[in-house]
Amino acid sequence: MFEAAVYRFVKAVGEESLHQVPDLDKSNLCKPLAIVVKKNKRWFWQKAKYKPYPFSLEQILTENDHIQLPCSVRKYVTYNKTSCFSASGKIGASLKSIIEADIEGSDTVQLDAKFGVVNKVELASIDDLIQLLKNKHLDLKHEFVKQVREHPRKVLCVITGVAETSQECELHAHMDVDAKEDFDVDKLHLDERTEIKDKTDKKFLLPKGTPLAYNALELWVEADGGLKLIIDSDSRGGWGDIDEVDATLKDEDTATSFKGILGLNLNDRKEFTSKIQGICKDPKMIHPLYVLLKSAVRKCKDSEGKTIELKAVTDKLGTDNDNWKYVLLMTGFELQSDNWSTITYPTAESDMLMSFFCLMEALDELEDEQIIAFAELNSDQSVSLLYLLACILAKKTVKTSDEEVSVLYSEPNTAQVFLQSLGMQQMDGATVVAGSDNTNEIQGAYRAVFALWGS
């Protein structure tokens, strides 16, 4: 519940500048001058992941001096919002399990986040930190530092500001039983007057000073441990003695990424597309499938055909939507025994396996509502949709009257819903523009559309 609330808070306030606290247990790690590790993803268009660690900057330096820089506190924003999540989505499904709901007719979970006034606690002067680091060195022998340096895509960051609650506040997740058609009576209580009372809700209080999100700046580490704080958004942190692996930051040719799917015959590709869109109607399946495929690709490189209990997969993917079984079989997985009790990973890498992996990697970048909208697209819209997305990514001007995209705006259609979910808007009713903070999602959308309908 906390994770869902801060996720929406960051989206509302400014995703580019703020990173959400991952969970309530780690909130105490998020304070000024604490260390965060940023992990750049395989492709340049994917969102990097940030993870706080129980170390402060001074703990990983060679010098033992106590670092104490003044902080300022200011009112940041007032936030009291009710958010609705699809029960079939990643966040909605998690909330549904928290409130122990089993309501078949339900399609949304409501989350009330009454944070009230949120304060910003931040370093009074970034320049003071820049000057301080000029005479400091990272302890390259520190065990934590050594572990981070083993991964070229990981970068050390330091927290410079934290958004935190200024008072005790309440989170409340609930479902509107009265509006639903079917429900599990065990989850309800009938009083003496036979009135139905909804018990499918949960509340808890956050104490004053609970961190919700944070700002962090990357560090550049020289070969001798010298430090530089990166404040230019066009520059990156990293390690001076480690060569950057270009393949991890540059996109491969899109057609090559989806070679296996593009090579299917017409009927097989239509069937594959139908199954993928069936999966997308249940967005909570996307991330578990992505994780499963990532593991399978790694095992292929080790020539290891790992076998796992099918229940371990169905517990995460569910049994109501079995489109995933068809797609896994197409990509080299094997379902063993008469009752399909186990599943075996492919023993060799194939174009189809890599294509499915790249597709799930792209879909994993999208939000629930974007995935659901993607499930309703069709081939008639694909050429215009790919053209429009490519133009937006290339920062080219596109007008709704342009011949290449006019079909998308001639009358209401599912492509418009998809574009709106991506933050696309029409300026002055004519020029298509995108939001400033959703390039990753548009890249993921372009690749997903190309995988199913591109050539």
pLDDT at 254 over 70: yes
Instruction: Write down which residue in 311, 329, 363 finishes a domain.
Output: 363
Q: 127 and 15, same structural domain?
A: yes
Element spanning 278, H or E:
helix 266-280
| Residue 385 shares a structural domain with residue 356 | no
Phi-psi region of 31 (alpha: psi -120 to 50; beta: other; left: phi over 0): beta
Q: How many CA atoms lie within 13 A of 82 on its CB side?
A: 6
CA–CA separation, 57 and 33 (whole Å): 6
- The answer to whether position 275 is within a domain reads no
* pLDDT tens digits, 195-243: 333 446 778 889 999 999 999 999 999 999 999 999 887 778 889 876 5
Does 47 share its domain with 115?
A: yes
Q: Where are the beta strands (DSSP E) in 94-229?
A: 108-123, 154-165, 169-174, 188-190, 196-198, 201-206, 211-221, 227-229
Closest among 84, 71, 162 to 118, alpha carbons compared: 162
For residues 218 and 75, membership in a common domain is answered with yes
Query: From CA 321, how far away is CA 425, in angstroms rounded?
Result: 33
pLDDT at 179: 41
Amino acid found at 444? G
From 363, 393, 422, give the residue that closes a domain: 363
* Neighbouring residues of 337: CB distance < 8 A, sequence distance ≥ 6: none
pTM: 0.66
Domain that holds residue 351: 284-363
Higher pLDDT, 305 or 64: 64
61 and 203 assigned to the same domain: yes
Q: Is the pLDDT of residue 429 over 70?
A: no
SS3 state of residue 285: helix
Asked if 351 and 387 sit in the same domain, the reply is no
More confident: 281 or 242 = 281
SS3 375: coil
